[in-house]
Structure 1
Amino acid sequence: MSQFLISPATTWNRVNHEDMKVKDWIEPSYAQLENRFDVVITGVPLSRSSISASAASEYPDSFRKSWNFFTTYSIDEDVDFRALRIADVGDVKMHGTNILQCHENIEHAITDIQKKCPDSFYVQIGGDHSITAPIIRSLAKHTGKRIGIVQFDTHLDLRSTESDGPSNGTPIRQLLDAGIIRGEDVYNIGLHGFYNAPSLMKAANHYGVNRITLKQFRENGAEKQIAEVMKALQDKVDIVYVTVDMDVLDITYAPGVPASTPGGMRTDELFDLLYEVGKYDIVRGMDFVCLDPYRDTLEQQTVKAGTYAFLTAMVSRYVYLK
């Protein structure tokens, strides 16, 4: 067990039966990390680094609670994917006030997981978008490989670290400034509306970040768009990491997002994109960030959308990469 991981608040008594729910499928592995899992889930409950007031730190717990609403059978694919071996290794231990210490803990925890589970696919449940920077730092340092990023987001996340620090507005900028990633290896899909200032576009041009607006994506469709992005990345990088900022969704579909906006994606569009990225073996990890259960509807509309998004990527990996 990594010293940087703790057991989560919500746990389930797993029951093995014909009609298996997700709560019965995902195996708790808090005591030890083992290299026998296809997928490893880690909760990253940090949101004090969010520019917008946020309780996204509560999402890992809400994510686990939602497992009771879903089964391991996909009617769309007519497949039960319970054979996919998946573990929940708990939450990264957070410092009460020190954001940089929290980021160090995240980096150490992800490194420990990679050492113990080198063959797994890594899923991180945030937390705000600041968590992506230490996760990718860990992947880059541990593997020594060139990493590409597919980012589903309303925002560029290229704010200056001098003015905004290690916040959820700067994870991509942090990685670029540190030379961890290259701008040409970042593909941001879903940009829309009136939410990115000219200075951020200037930064995107400076670093060479690839931008695909929501309008462009809709003209291409999910399958074509992801095929184009993956073809470009496969010619350049060794590993692709997918980061899903839930604020890419329209406020109608995702009210439980701190920076929710009109004009964004529908949930089915995000699901289609995640189904497509799940087909590619070069994709080795992903995170889901910026989802605040306290802002959500009573029916937990956004929480369930986040879990559905995760399951969509998992069933795709099972169908295409088993």
Structure 2
Amino acid sequence: MHFTYLNPTNPATFKDRYVTKVAETIVPFSKERKGEVGLIGLPSSKSSISLSMAANAPSTIRKALNSFSTYAATQKHDFKNEGIVDFGDVPIHPTSVIETLDRLHISIQEMLQTDACDRYIMLGGDHGISFPSIHAFQKKYGTIGVIQWDAHHDVRNLEDGGRTNGTPFRSLLEEGIIKGEHLVQVGIRNYSNAQAYDQYAHDKGIHVYMMEDIEEHGILPIIDKELERLSNEVDFLYLSVDMDSVDQAHAPGCPAIGPGGFTSRELLSSIKKAAQHPKTKAMDIVEIDPSQDVRDMTSRLAAHVMMKFMYKV
């Protein structure tokens, strides 16, 4: 039977024949499918030291991609033919954080073994997902340089709570997966870290840029400087974007919101700069709690972060 207007199982959405939404370019992974960018959801937030529903962020960010078109007027280029290969979401263990981290690590390794894409985006989840993710990329591609947008060092001790969203970079350093001098932290804020962790970052040789450094020198010159340095020392680059690096006015949906962070424009311009480097291979986006967001502002900003990473001319 033919229905005039009834459209079972499909949403009643408007479609403009001339507009392609970013979400329309996402296709599920298959062995025959190749694409420019691979996408995987890592919906883990049980390791968060504050109450968080960041596990819901991958689906919310994907949904936000329905709000934006593939056409970039500045470049006079439509990216509608730039395919995004979606590997889906990794099922987390209902109770065990350690088992969840193992699942994330194995899943990213298996994704990379397909060689289906040139670059990859990991959607968290809390920042704890960066430990298994970066480890998997290091195994595949060699010496890794990391640029971390964050208000926090995320080098908390492992004795007080095990592996949490506050420990990923301490875990990576202690396991010898990355070197301190190959980790760059931008946007670290006052009153967001303990003195012991500031000292730990200094002792490990991490290149730390406080918000005061951003205010004095600007974010783009700092990114330029560190890209040039890292490119001579590492095999590839990984971007780790904690959305709480952004001022609470621009990203209200973070578990650890605070004033004095990046503007959305500063974040996007710096991501674009880092993503354009030929050695940049991967990016994760973490610490969005959709239940705390306002009109999906933070997820929409994350969608734009994805687009800055994906779309290069």
DSSP-derived class of the 1:38 partner: strand
Assess, with a 3 A threshold, how the Cα gap between structure 1 residues 71 and 118 changes in structure 2: closer, same or farther: closer
Superimposed CA distance per residue, residues 103-162 of structure 1 (whole angstroms, 9 cap, x where no aligned partner): 10111111111110265201000000000000011111233x110100000000010112
- CA shift at 1:292, angstroms? 0.4
Q: State whether residues 35 and 119 of structure 1, in contact with CA within 8 Å, keep that contact through their aligned partners in structure 2.
A: no
Q: Is 2:269 aligned against 1:303? A: no
Matched, 1:264 2:264: no
- Structure 1 counterpart of 2:237, one-letter code: V
In structure 2, C-alpha distance between the alignment counterparts of 1:155 and 1:222, rounded to whole Å: 17
Pairwise CA distance, 1:238: 0.4
| Aligned partner of 1:76 among 67, 74, 77 | 74
The answer to whether the aligner puts 1:254 opposite 2:251 as a matched pair is: yes
Identity of aligned residues (%): 33
1:46 is matched with which residue?
44
Q: Secondary structure at the match of 1:162?
A: coil
Tell me the amino acid that sits aligned with residue 251 of structure 1: Q
TM-score (norm 2): 0.92
Distance 1:232 1:19, change over 3 A: same
Q: Displacement of 1:90 after TM fit?
A: 0.3
Distance 2:222 2:79 in 1: 26
Aligned letter for 1:26?
I
- The CA RMSD measured in Å over matched residues stands at 1.9
Instruction: Find the residue that maps to 2:288 and give its secondary structure.
Output: coil
Which residue of 2 is the match for residue 133 of structure 1? 131
The match for 2:5 is none
Runs of 5+ unmatched residues, structure 2: 1-10
Match of 1:20 in 2: 20
2:268 is matched by which residue type in structure 1? F
Normalization by structure 1: what TM-score? 0.89
Structure 1 stretches of 4+ with a deviation exceeding 3 A read 15-18
CA radius of gyration, larger in: 2
Distance in 2 separating the partners of 1:274 and 1:54: 25
1 CA distance for matches of 2:296 and 2:247?
16
Give the Cα separation in 2 of the matches to 1:264 and 1:193: 10
Q: Tell whether the 8 Å contact from 1:16 to 1:24 is kept in structure 2 after alignment.
A: no
Counting only pairs closer than 5 Å after superposition, residues 101-140 of structure 1 correspond to structure 2 as 101-117=99-115, 119-140=117-138
Residue correspondences, number: 302
* Cα distance in 2 for residues equivalent to 1:162 and 1:33: 43
Q: Which residue, out of 134, 159, 174, partners 2:156?
A: 159
User: In the alignment, is the contact (CA less than 8 A) between 2:44 and 2:125 conserved in 1?
Assistant: yes
Identify the match of residue 148 of structure 1 among 145, 149, 153: 145
Q: Return closer, same or farther for 1:157/1:33 CA change in 2, 3 Å cut-off.
A: farther
- Quickly say closer, same or farther: Cα 1:215–1:78, change in 2 above 3 A: farther
Where structure 1 has 5 or more consecutive residues not aligned to the other structure, the ranges are 1-10
Question: Is 1:204 aligned to residue 201 of structure 2?
Answer: yes
* Offset from partner CA, 1:262-317 (integer Å, 9 cap, x none): 111111110011110111110100000000000001x21111111111112222xx
* 1:243 paired to 2:240: yes
Return closer, same or farther for 1:77/1:221 CA change in 2, 3 Å cut-off. farther
Residue in structure 1 matched with residue 189 of structure 2 by the alignment: 192
Identify which of 87, 92, 102 aligns with 1:94.
92
CA displacement at 1:83 relative to structure 2: 2.7
Distance in 2 between the 1:170 and 1:305 partners?
25
Whether the 8 Å CA contact 1:193–1:263 is kept in 2: the answer is no
2:61 matched residue in structure 1: 63
Structure 1 position 34, deviation (Å): 4.9
